[in-house]
Structure 1
Amino acid sequence: MPYTLANLTELTEEIKKSRFIVKAAPITTADQAMQFIDHVSDPNATHNCWAWKIGQQYRFNDDGEPTSTAGRPILSAIEGQDCDQVVVVVIRYFGGIKLGTGGLIRAYGGSASHCLQQAELIELITRIPLQFHCYYNEWPIIENRLKELDAIIENQEFDAEGVKVDIAITKDKLQHLQKSISDITRGRVVIEL
């Protein structure tokens, strides 16, 4: 089950006199990731390397370090901690000792991993978006059933005949919801995915 961060998490590590400052945050869009990266990056640092992941989308950047020695290991740390909807920036202040390719991979990946390990995580629950329309007299009963099934009511639109509802529900409760709504509306309401 994937996790995201509850809030901003920071960690500082010193590796062979280089200082690595890790900042990780929850995100839901690529724009949020880029804004966070721009906000926390230090122009005075030697390198501001980063990675983010949202579902199947991801990006990473080595910011001048040798190819795939910083951004890729940070992304691997995100995936290794089973995180999603997360951005991680590792700010490096060079301390005078070269780490070599393997050392850079271990430093960036390890510091990102340590930061995520200490972070407060929230389980990401995948929900399916659904839509249906019901009569006014059916809505209070259906609304109670939605609460029992931990469905999220995302939008309600009232018209002359009733209520058009957009909800999100976990896959394991979908069949139960479909049966409940069918029973309440005598098979008249069809849920649209």
Structure 2
Amino acid sequence: MRTIKRPGEHEIEVRKSRFLCSLARVTEESEAREFIQLQRKTHHDARHHCSAFVLGDSGEIQKSSDDGEPAGTAGVPMLEVLRRNEITNTVAVVTRYFGGVLLGAGGLVRAYGGAVSAAIEHVGLLWRRPVRVVSVEADYLLAGRLDNDLRSAGYQVADTSYDASVRFQVNVPVEDVEEFRTWLAATTAGAAEPSEGPLIHAELSL
């Protein structure tokens, strides 16, 4: 699954109607509903605030609302864009300012789905993947170069702690753990020993 890189807003215009899509990262249904209500208050002069959200590590919670638009013309196409992009832990609200021209059912479907697609392209996406937290301990003489090598190789350094030695917490995709061990041994000539920790879900750049 994936998630949005950052919260944000993006607006498109379709036949004089304005469609403003607001996106936010959420992990609970209550957070999604709070965000929807916030958009209602912020844009209280708009006619519709249609919404869709997907939650969970596998996108198991999926809900949408047409908010007064003809059934199936707003919330469902918005939700379909999130599904098609394999996005989770995200809520989308499209606020419509009516421009006086009726769009018809097909036009509404394209406009609401298009607003979400454009907003997603605007904010960008991250992979949300299962990773193994691998702890790597190195002495201070090695640590500076190793930190640079880890980042240059594309590994995600989640945390660094300093004590008698330097300890890096590296998020490694589960399928790449053995490859990481091999890379680390070659890069440090065996001077840094990895220790595998818990399995979590982390956000990695596409």
Question: What is the rounded CA distance, in whole Å, between the counterparts of 2:102 and 2:194 in structure 1?
Answer: 68
TM-score, reference length from structure 1: 0.67
Q: Per-residue deviation at 1:26?
A: 5.2
Q: Per-residue deviation at 1:49?
A: 0.9
Residue 160 of structure 2 aligns to a residue in which SS? strand
Question: What is the rounded CA distance, in whole Å, between the counterparts of 2:34 and 2:175 in structure 1?
Answer: 35
Residue 189 of structure 1 aligns to a residue in which SS? strand
Pair 1:27-2:25 in alignment: yes
Unaligned stretches of 5+ in structure 2?
Answer: 200-206
Question: What is the rounded CA distance, in whole Å, between the counterparts of 1:25 and 1:180 in structure 2?
Answer: 38
Q: How does 1:124-143 map to 2 (within 5 A)?
A: 124-126=126-128, 128-137=131-140, 138-143=142-147
Q: Residues 107-161 of structure 1: CA distance to partner in whole angstroms, max 9, x if unpaired?
A: 443113322247436352445251314142553453233123211222122234x
Question: What is the rounded CA distance, in whole Å, between the counterparts of 1:52 and 1:78 in structure 2?
Answer: 8
Q: Per-residue deviation at 1:189?
A: 3.2
Give the number of the structure whose residues are more often strand, by fraction: 2
Q: Per-residue deviation at 1:87?
A: 3.5
Unaligned stretches of 5+ in structure 1?
Answer: none
Task: Pick one of 178, 183, 190 that aligns with 1:180.
Answer: 183
**Structure index of larger Rg:** 1
Q: Residues 70-122 of structure 1: CA distance to partner in whole angstroms, max 9, x if unpaired?
A: 31221113334x262554322345659695xxx1xx34431133222474363
Task: Pick one of 164, 169, 172 that aligns with 2:167.
Answer: 164
Given that 2:3 and 2:126 are in contact with CA atoms closer than 8 Å, whether structure 1 keeps it comes out as: yes
TM-score, reference length from structure 2: 0.64
1:122 partner amino acid? G
Query: Match of 1:189?
Result: 194
Cα separation, partners in 2 of 1:46 and 1:176, compared to 1, 3 Å: same
Cα separation, partners in 2 of 1:32 and 1:13, compared to 1, 3 Å: farther
Query: Match of 1:74?
Result: 78
Cα separation, partners in 2 of 1:141 and 1:175, compared to 1, 3 Å: farther
- Say what the alpha-carbon RMSD is for the aligned residues: 3.8
Question: What is the rounded CA distance, in whole Å, between the counterparts of 2:170 and 2:26 in structure 1?
Answer: 19
Cα separation, partners in 2 of 1:83 and 1:35, compared to 1, 3 Å: farther
Pair 1:109-2:109 in alignment: yes
Cα separation, partners in 2 of 1:152 and 1:70, compared to 1, 3 Å: same
Cα separation, partners in 2 of 1:29 and 1:124, compared to 1, 3 Å: same
Q: Per-residue deviation at 1:35?
A: 5.2
Cα separation, partners in 2 of 1:179 and 1:5, compared to 1, 3 Å: closer
Question: What is the rounded CA distance, in whole Å, between the counterparts of 2:77 and 2:111 in structure 1?
Answer: 10
Q: Percentage identity across aligned positions?
A: 19
